[in-house]
C-alpha cells in the first residue's frame, strides 16, 4: 500500500484520473425509443434533405408571387382556384398565371407556384379568390433541405442524446442509432454500522440505514453507466478484499464507499494501487483512486461531492461524452467564504439567475442535497466569493 504524504490538488488528481482512463471501444445499436441519455458513438450524416420537398408553411393558397404584386385591400387581384389538397397529398395541377391551389400547412408545393398566400389574406367566392395583399417570392414556403441538407452532419460523436436529438434522427429516417456501450460500475458499500432494511431496535442500538447505494445507482445511471450493486460488506479485511477483487474483474469502474480514511477498520484502500489518496476537495477529502477503483467516503454528502467532482468525469471519459454538464451564470445572494488550499464544493439553489448557498452543513446531512439543485466550485487559490459575485453553477 502506497502512502501519500500530502493532499493532491484537485486539478492534479483529476488529470491523473483522466489520464489513466481511455474510451471504451464497444458500440451498440439501439432503437430511438431506448436512446435517451445515451452517448453517440460517431458522427451522424443525414441521408435525405429535410424537408424532402418545398412545402407550405401556412394554410392558404399556392400561387405565383408576381400575380399578387398589384393586390391591395381596396383593389384586390382575382385568381382562379384550380385544385385543393391536404397535407400528405400532392396536387396534379400546375399553377399558371392567374391560378392558385388551396393547400394546408406542410403540403407539397405544386409545380409553378413560388409563394403561399395566407388564407386570411384572401376572400373566396366559389372558385375565385380575391387577393388582398401582395406576397414575395418564397414567402410562407419551407424549402427542401431548409432544416437539414442531404450529406450534412446533423449530430456529432459524443453528443448526449436528448429528446430533440431523437426527433431529428427520426425526421430523416433513422429508427436506430449507434451509441457507446454503458460502462459497468460496481458499487460496494462497507461498514459494520450499516443496515439495508428498517429495523427500529437496530437503529436505537446504533445502526444506520444505508443510503449511498441507491444514490450512487441513480447517479451512475444519470451519467451513462450501468450500476452493479455488491451489497453491504462488513468491516472485515478479507471480505472487503474479496469483493473488491471480484468487482474489478467484472466492471469498468468500481465505487467503494467507506474505508477511505486511515482508521483501524478502513481496509478498502489497502487492496488498490492508488494514484492518489487524499485530495484538496471539501467535502470528501479522503478520496482515493487507482486501478479504475474509487475509494470514497462513507458520508452521503461527501460521496455526492466526490461523484460530481471525479466519478462523473471518469464516466464521461469512458464513453467520450461531450457537453454533459449544464452550466449557468448566476449572481450569489450572499457571501461564501473558503480557505486557501482547498477546492470547495458548495451546494446552491439556482433560480431566476441567482444562486442561494445552502446553509445546512455536514457530510451526513442528506436534506442539504435535496434542498439544492446545483453547485459552485471554489478553487484552492480563492478565499471565497462575495455577495453579488457572478459565479458558474453546475446544475444537477
Note the pLDDT tens digit of each residue in 235-293.
999 999 999 999 999 999 999 999 766 655 567 778 899 999 999 999 999 999 999 99
The CATH-assigned architecture of domain 326-395 is Beta Barrel (2.40)
**Grid cell digits, residue 290:** 487507482
* 3 has pLDDT over 70: no
The angle that helices 312-319 and 10-19 make with each other, rounded to 10 degrees, is 30
**Grid cell digits, residue 233:** 460488506
Alpha-carbon distance 64 to 373, whole Å? 55
Q: Assign domain 55-142 one CATH number from 2.170.190.11, 3.40.190.10, 3.10.20.90, 1.10.10.60.
A: 2.170.190.11
At residue 4 the predicted structure's pLDDT band, cuts being 50, 70 and 90, is confident
Q: Assign domain 10-25+182-319 one CATH number from 1.10.357.10, 3.40.50.12780, 1.10.390.10, 3.40.980.10.
A: 3.40.980.10
Give the pLDDT score at 267. Answer: 72
Fold entry, domain 27-49+159-180: Molybdopterin biosynthesis moea protein, domain 2 (3.90.105)
Alpha-carbon distance 344 to 173, whole Å? 47
Residue-wise pLDDT for 159-179, tens only, equals 999 999 999 999 999 999 999
Phi, psi dihedral angles at 301 (to 5 degrees): -65, -40
Select from 330, 280, 294 the least CA-distant residue to 219: 294
343-382: burial string, b at 16+ Cβ within 10 Å, e else = bbbbbbebeeeebbbbeeeebebbebbeebbbbbbbebeb
**DSSP one-letter string for 28-92:** EEEEGGG-TT-BB-S-EE-SS-BSSS-EESSSEEEE-GGGGTT-BTTBPEEEEEEEE--TT----
Residue-wise pLDDT for 102-122, tens only, equals 999 999 999 999 999 999 999
Residue owning grid cell 432494511: 197
CA angle, corner 135, sides to 132 and 141, nearest 5? 130
Amino acid at each position: 500500500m502506497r502512502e501519500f504524504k500530502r493532499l493532491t490538488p484537485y486539478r492534479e488528481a483529476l488529470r491523473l484520473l483522466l489520464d489513466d482512463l481511455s474510451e471504451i471501444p464497444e458500440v451498440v445499436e439501439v432503437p430511438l425509443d431506448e436512446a435517451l441519455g445515451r452517448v453517440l458513438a460517431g458522427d451522424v450524416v443525414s441521408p435525405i434533405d429535410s424537408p424532402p420537398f418545398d412545402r407550405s408553411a401556412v394554410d392558404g393558397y399556392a400561387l405565383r408571387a408576381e400575380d399578387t404584386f398589384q393586390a391591395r385591400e381596396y383593389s384586390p387581384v382575382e385568381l382562379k382556384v384550380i385544385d385543393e389538397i391536404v397535407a400528405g397529398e400532392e396536387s396534379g395541377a400546375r399553377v399558371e398565371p392567374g391560378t392558385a391551389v388551396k393547400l394546408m400547412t406542410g403540403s407539397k408545393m405544386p409545380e409553378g407556384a413560388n409563394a403561399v398566400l395566407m388564407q386570411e389574406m384572401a376572400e373566396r367566392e366559389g372558385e375565385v379568390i380575391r387577393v388582398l395583399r401582395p406576397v414575395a417570392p418564397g414567402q410562407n414556403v419551407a424549402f427542401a433541405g431548409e432544416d437539414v441538407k442531404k450529406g450534412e452532419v446533423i449530430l456529432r460523436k459524443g453528443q448526449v442524446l436528448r429528446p430533440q436529438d431523437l426527433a431529428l434522427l427520426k425526421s430523416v429516417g433513422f429508427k436506430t442509432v449507434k451509441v457507446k456501450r454503458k460502462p459497468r460500475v460496481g458499487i460496494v458499500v462497507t461498514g459494520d454500522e450499516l443496515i439495508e432494511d428498517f429495523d427500529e431496535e437496530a437503529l436505537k442500538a446504533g445502526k444506520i440505514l444505508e443510503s449511498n447505494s441507491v444514490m450512487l445507482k441513480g447517479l451512475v445511471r444519470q451519467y451513462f453507466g450501468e450500476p452493479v450493486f455488491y451489497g453491504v460488506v462488513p468491516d472485515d479485511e478479507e471480505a472487503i478484499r474479496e469483493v473488491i477483487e471480484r468487482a474489478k474483474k467484472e466492471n469498468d469502474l468500481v465505487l467503494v464507499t467507506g474505508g477511505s480514511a486511515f482508521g483501524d477498520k478502513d481496509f478498502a484502500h489497502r487492496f488498490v494501487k492508488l494514484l492518489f489518496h487524499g485530495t484538496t476537495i471539501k467535502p470528501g477529502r479522503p478520496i482515493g483512486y487507482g486501478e479504475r477503483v474509487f475509494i470514497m467516503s462513507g458520508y452521503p454528502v461527501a460521496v455526492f461531492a466526490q461523484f460530481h467532482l471525479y466519478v462523473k468525469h471518469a464516466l464521461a471519459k469512458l464513453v467520450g461524452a461531450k457537453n454533459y454538464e449544464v452550466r449557468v451564470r448566476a449572481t450569489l445572494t450572499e457571501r461564501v467564504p473558503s480557505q486557501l488550499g482547498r477546492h470547495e464544493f458548495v451546494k446552491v439553489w439556482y433560480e431566476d439567475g441567482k444562486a442561494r448557498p445552502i446553509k445546512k452543513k455536514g457530510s451526513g446531512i442528506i436534506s442539504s442535497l435535496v434542498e439544492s439543485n446545483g453547485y459552485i466550485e471554489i478553487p484552492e487559490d480563492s478565499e471565497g466569493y462575495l455577495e453579488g459575485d457572478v459565479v458558474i453553477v453546475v446544475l444537477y
